[in-house]
Amino acid sequence: MVASQTSVSTQDANITPSIAHSLDNFKDDISLHVNKIYGNIKYIDFLVPAILGMTIMMSCMMGMGATIAGERETGELARLFMTPTSVATVIGGKIAAKLLIELVRALILIFMAVMLFKVSIKGGFLQTFIVLVIGALCFVGFGIMLSARTSTQEDYAQISLPFSMPMMFVSGVFYPIETMPWILQKLAYIFPLTYLNDAMRGVMLKGQTLGDVWLDLVVLLGFTVLFFIIGVKRFNRDV
């Protein structure tokens, strides 16, 4: 019995070096290739441009729409329309005030992205700023359109959330649109945030010019005109 155990141990001792030698012969032939879904960039670099766009979207939609709904709820809008003031003048004044706020916000966001997250803006600061301004104008119009017939801030929140929440998750903020199911890929392109994110990433990550992202900007401007036309026509002056 002892002799048998000794024989087995001797065989194991001989086999182990043989296996190790065989593995040494194969190790040079084994390689690992990883295809990153974000390309050759860090995730934070991919994320920050879209976070800037999403922040502008939320602040413009909620800020503009909730303000109008709140003024209608408290009666301030009714008192304003007692003066000989046109709807276009009232809306124009609110747009100018909101855009000024968003310009400052955009500057702060870009500064924080560069200083805190070390994000490089390959396309230049001015072009990034212009894209954000166009996006802000678009979502200000969106907020005006949604708030045109809302009576309270609660009503506006209930109307705006079904638009804002899908945009956050379908418009390629947190992951590339190409990785989503095909039906969501199609759905993404009906939202203006998709085009803002694409333009932001093109300018900030790829170093593209405004001419390179012209299609995204044209679509954003088209949405802007559409939102303002609908908003002004639907705006209920009899408040």
Residue-wise pLDDT tens digits, 46-66: 888 888 899 889 888 888 888
pTM of the model: 0.77
pLDDT at 237: 53
Average predicted confidence (pLDDT) for the chain: 80
Q: How far apart are CA 135 and CA 51, in angstroms?
A: 13
**Residue 58: both structure tokens together:** 């939320």
Q: Where are the domains of the chain?
A: 1-31, 43-234
Least confident range from 40-44, 71-75, 105-109, 226-230: namely 40-44
- Over residues 73-84, the pLDDT tens digits come to 888 877 877 777
Percentage of the chain surpassing pLDDT 70? 81
pLDDT at 48: 87
CB 199 within 8 A of CB 221: no
- Give the burial string for 48-63 (b: 16+ CB within 10 Å, else e): bbbbbbbebbbbbbbb
- Over residues 170-205, the pLDDT tens digits come to 988 888 888 888 898 889 999 999 999 999 999 988
Which has more confidence, 203 or 239?
203
- Over residues 119-149, the pLDDT tens digits come to 778 888 889 889 999 999 999 989 888 887 7
CA dihedral 40, 135, 130, 188 (to 10 degrees): 30
Q: Which of 138, 130, 134 is nearest to 110 (CA)?
A: 130
DSSP 149: T
Q: How far apart are CA 239 and CA 231, in angstroms?
A: 15
Q: Check whether 20 has a pLDDT greater than 60.
A: no
Q: How far apart are CA 94 and CA 102, in angstroms?
A: 12
